[in-house]
A and B are shown apart, each in its own frame.
Chain A
Amino acid sequence: MSLSSLLNSLSDKSDNWSDFLLPSAINEAKQMVNSNSFRALFLFGVIAFLFMSLFLYNMPTSNDTGQIFFLLFSSIMDVGLILFIPLMIYQNMSFERSNGSFELMAITSITPLKIVLGKWQSGMLQGIIFGSIATPGLIFSYFFDGVAISMIFVSLVLTIIGAQFSILVSIFFCSLGVLKSTRLFLQVVTLISSIIILSFTIGFKSGLTYRDTALAKLFTTDFIIGFFIFLLVFLTVEILLIVISAAQLSPYSANKSSMPKLVFSVLVLEIGLIFIFETASYGSFHIMILSLFVHAFFSFFFMMEKDLLSKKLFDQLQKKENILKQIWKKLFYPGVSSAFLLYLTQIAFLGFSFCFCLMNSSPTYFRGNNEFNLLGVISCFVFYFSAIYLTVGGLQALFPHITTSAKAFASVFVLLLIFIIPFILYLNFENADEMLLMSIFYHLTERNNGDINYLNLVITILFLTPALILAIFSNKRKVEEVRAFAAGERGSV
């Protein structure tokens, strides 16, 4: 066999192996390698790391030289992988969505799920290329005393976890925005998310590096159980992010993403609640507020989606009604008006909870002893009434003639609660134990020797299950209705 035929055969084989990767990943990797800015950056990175290594090597050594060396390299790598690459992926994807490349992909055989996974894979591939600059530096830090090889390994694993999550978050946010202005706003959200993930990763790593016993703790039973629970939640969140992104990118089928969005928003709210009930600390206060924001954010997107139950069909169903009834029903038809109402509801609750906590920073008005339990109660309100709202919203699609009023009633009820609860709380300010509404919800927020209140979870699931079932069936029903309607209009060819 001649050399040229051997090279050709090797080239064909490597080309065949590339079929195992998704098209976007290969395409973007090729683009990156072809780009002059990447080549320059790569070269600069290699030289910079080389100089830094030499500089640190010649420094007078102390006990923590290895740790400084390790943290420096590791942090630089994290900034590249967890902050810059996700932002690059976001920008590329946003550009592709604006210039029509996504449309061209949508009419090929590739599915939206493969597009999302391809982008994810591409981010990881780029991460590996960038990471390869810093990895030798990390390994080099082993030769200084103070950093164990296991620590370097754990650090790399943490970087990979952080980077892939950050990339996924950026893909997810990019998939949500249809308008250019929305995508610009979401880019800022992506940046903030990446910074949060980056700070968590670096913080965790420095914690591990400076605690001699930290690594040993990794193998205790408590840690392993906790880790697997965390992994379960983490993977669930990741799967939901992938599913939502894919559903958002599929042409004319935004309704497909309703279900994962609903599950995701509730899941995030639940995580917030668990933190509240478990520790009731300032940290959990922030997480709870964050989870409320996320919930409100998703409710907004959920309700803003175009409905498969076309306006024409809805109008046809309503055309026998008088004009006032039509206006009334349109106000609560799934879409912009309902979304706005729901969004206002959640923001109002959030604002109320903030104001209330600020006004009563250290009272002993509630049997739970602090304002964080009160926040838990408020979050219960937000969650349960959102669930009611979504449940009734789902019912509307099943029985459009009957349930519009019920949905309207639920909405008005939620609005009334927003105004009434502060009054009740205010009137009962001096006599908290007798607060009627609070006592109803008290058992849901009571802490049981510092453990998670499982009763709350059970009740939440009981509330959530019918909402999810209804959402599934109503979506299916909507699709069937539209199909039947369209078929009737089409006639036969």
Chain B
Amino acid sequence: MTQDLVVIDKLTRVFAQTKAIDNVSFSFNAGDIFGFIGPNGAGKTTTMRILSTLDIATTGDCYIDGLSVTDNPEIIHQKLGFMPDYFTAPNNISIEDYLDYYARNYGLKGAKRRQAVERIIDFMDMKNIRDKFTSTLSKGMKQRLCLGRTLINDPQILILDEPAAGLDPRARIELRELLKILAKQGKAILISSHVLTELAELCDSCAIIEKGKILRAGKIDSINMELHSKTGVSVVVVLQSVVENALVAISELPFIENIEEITVGKKYQFSVIEPDQVATTLHRLVTKELPVMEYYLKEQGLEQLFLDVTKGVVQ
């Protein structure tokens, strides 16, 4: 079995009497955009800080490329870029000088350093404002610059803590597009956010954390399937024309629960409690001479998934 690029293994962090995270484990690979979802104080930032070598776990460890972050922080620093949920830059410094400073901090010298700075300025589309002081930038531009700083050493792994917080819709779309490009370049991205719709469009895997414990982790589809195997699959049926007593006919079918009449006599939503009965249910609807025009699974977004998991539906 091949090991994932980033492995968080049984991580626990205790602050005085508080367990910030408890036995947290998940993993993701190069090219993945992995969502890390949870309410405030759930332990997202603590996990990310340990992964970034800014904190040390009470027990457990994180591995990048098989290397322990606790034992090899110097090597990990070269492989990893961390973007915190705040932006800090010294006063009286231009965008170019800010990037140059971090390039120097990563040990880049001479032409290599200048090339790294140019690459980021190009990628972040900041050519025209390269001499602007960082203190004069908008929130969106600061986040963009912060992401640029994270990329200055061309890391394999990006850890982004609430990167979209406080951004306007346009800046969010731009950030999303940048992240997609980076994932295509083969970078492994761990991203935490409260904006679930934002993550839903980006991530194909996620971990849901609450009160320091991982409730679910893995591919979003797999989690959905797992959830549905216990709570049923939500299905929408649309009839070609209004049918009287359609509600009665549907409610008589086996394995059906939570029927909701969306349009009287025409559109219904219900749960098929056994996922393997979805196709059979369609057959039964047709057998009952209901003029089925559309029959589809209701998409379970990340938001619904998060709500289902955190409200304890599956615990």
Interface residues of A (CB under 8 A from B): 12, 15-16, 19, 23, 26-28, 30-32, 34-35, 92, 96, 99-101, 103-110, 251-252, 310, 312, 483, 486, 489-491, 493
> A100 and B86: CB pair below 8 A?
yes
B275 at the interface (CB under 8 A from A): no
Q: Is B312 positioned at the interface, with any CB of A under 8 Å from its CB? A: no
Complex contact A493–B104 (CB within 8 A): no
Determine whether the beta carbon of B88 is less than 8 Å from that of A101.
Answer: yes
Chain B contacts for A96, CB-based, 8 A: 88, 90
Q: Contact: B54 with A31, CB < 8 Å? A: no
Contact residue among B3, B104, B149 (Cβ-Cβ distance under 8 Å from A26): B104
Of the residues B92, B111, B114, contact of A31 by C-beta under 8 Å: B92
B59 near A251 (CB under 8 angstroms)?
no
Residue of A nearest to B50 (CB): A252
Beyond A15-B114, A27-B101, A96-B90, is A107–B63 a contact (Cβ under 8 Å)? Answer: no
**A32 contacts across to B, CB distance below 8 A:** 92
Evaluate whether A19 and B97 lie within 8 angstroms (CB atoms) in the complex, with A107-B52, A490-B59, A490-B61 already known: no
Instruction: Decide yes or no: A34 and B92 within 8 Å by CB, A16-B110, A26-B101, A103-B54 being known contacts.
Output: yes
Q: Are A108 and B58 in contact (CB under 8 A)?
A: no
Cβ-defined contact, B14 with A27, below 8 A: no
Q: Which of A31, A109, A483, A489 is close to B78, meaning CB atoms less than 8 Å apart?
A: A109
B92 smallest CB distance to A (angstroms): 4
Within the assembled complex, what's the spacing in Å between the Cα atoms of A491 and B10? 9
Contact A104 B10 (CB under 8 A): no
In the bound complex, what is the Cα–Cα distance between A32 and B133 (angstroms)? Answer: 13
Contact B93 A107, beta carbon cutoff 8 Å: no
Pairs A–B under 8 Å by Cβ, sample size 28:
A12-B111, A12-B114, A19-B104, A26-B104, A27-B90, A27-B97, A27-B104, A30-B93, A31-B90, A34-B94, A96-B88, A100-B86, A100-B88, A101-B88, A104-B82, A104-B149, A107-B54, A108-B105, A108-B153, A109-B74, A109-B77, A109-B106, A312-B58, A486-B57, A489-B59, A490-B10, A491-B9, A493-B3
Given A15-B110, A26-B101, A106-B54, are A490 and B7 also a contact pair (CB < 8 Å)? no
Tell me the smallest distance from the CB of A67 to a CB of chain B, in Å.
Answer: 40
Our count of residue pairs bridging A and B at CB distance below 8 angstroms stands at 108
**Nearest B-chain residue to A485, judged by Cβ:** B59
Evaluate whether A27 and B93 lie within 8 angstroms (CB atoms) in the complex, with A252-B55, A493-B9 already known: yes
Chain B residues with Cβ under 8 A from A15's Cβ? 110, 114
Chain B nearest CB, measured from A336 CB (Å): 12
**Closest approach, in angstroms, between the C-beta of B25 and any C-beta of chain A?**
10
Known: A31-B92, A100-B86. A489 touches B60 (CB 8 A): yes
Residues from chain B with a CB closer than 8 A to the CB of A109 are 74, 77-78, 105-107, 153
Binding site for A on B (CB under 8 A): 3, 7, 9-10, 14, 52-61, 63, 66, 70-71, 73-74, 77-78, 80, 82, 84, 86, 88-94, 97, 101-102, 104-107, 109-111, 113-114, 133, 149, 153
How far in angstroms is the closest Cβ of chain B from A481? 14
Contact indicator B88/A490 (Cβ below 8 Å) = no
What's the minimum C-beta distance from B274 to chain A, rounded to whole angstroms?
37
The 3 closest A-B pairs by CB, nearest first: A23-B104, A489-B59, A108-B105
CA distance A108 to B102 in the complex (A): 8
Contact of B58 with A310 in the complex, beta carbons under 8 Å? yes
Asked whether, in the complex, the Cβ of A23 is within 8 Å of the Cβ of B101, the reply is yes
- With A12-B111, A493-B3 given, name 13 new contacts (CB 8 A): A27-B97, A31-B90, A100-B88, A101-B90, A104-B82, A104-B84, A104-B88, A105-B105, A109-B74, A312-B58, A486-B57, A486-B61, A491-B10
Q: A35 touching B92 by the CB < 8 A rule?
A: yes
Residue of chain A at shortest CB distance from B110: A16
Closest to B90 in A: A31
Q: Which of B66, B80, B109, B149 has the most A CB atoms < 10 Å from its CB?
A: B109
Residues of A within 8 A of B94 (CB): 34
Task: List, in ascending order, chain B residues with CB within 8 A of A101's CB.
Answer: 88-90
Q: Which of A92, A100, A103, A489 contacts B10 (CB 8 A)?
A: A489
A184-B228 Cα distance, complex, nearest whole Å? 57
Is the CB–CB distance between A312 and B59 below 8 Å?
Answer: yes
CA–CA, A215 and B56, complex, Å: 56
A100 to B88, CA, bound (A): 7
Contacts of B88 in A (CB 8 A): 96, 99-101, 104
What residue in chain B is nearest A311 (Cβ atoms)? B14
Minimum C-beta distance from B7 to chain A (A)? 6
- Cα A100 to Cα B153 with chains together (Å): 20
Q: How far is the CA of A209 from the CA of B291 in the complex (A)?
A: 109
Question: Separation in Å of the B59 CB from the closest CB of chain A?
Answer: 4
Contacts of B84 in A (CB 8 A): 100, 103-104
Q: How far is the CA of A1 from the CA of B63 in the complex (A)?
A: 53
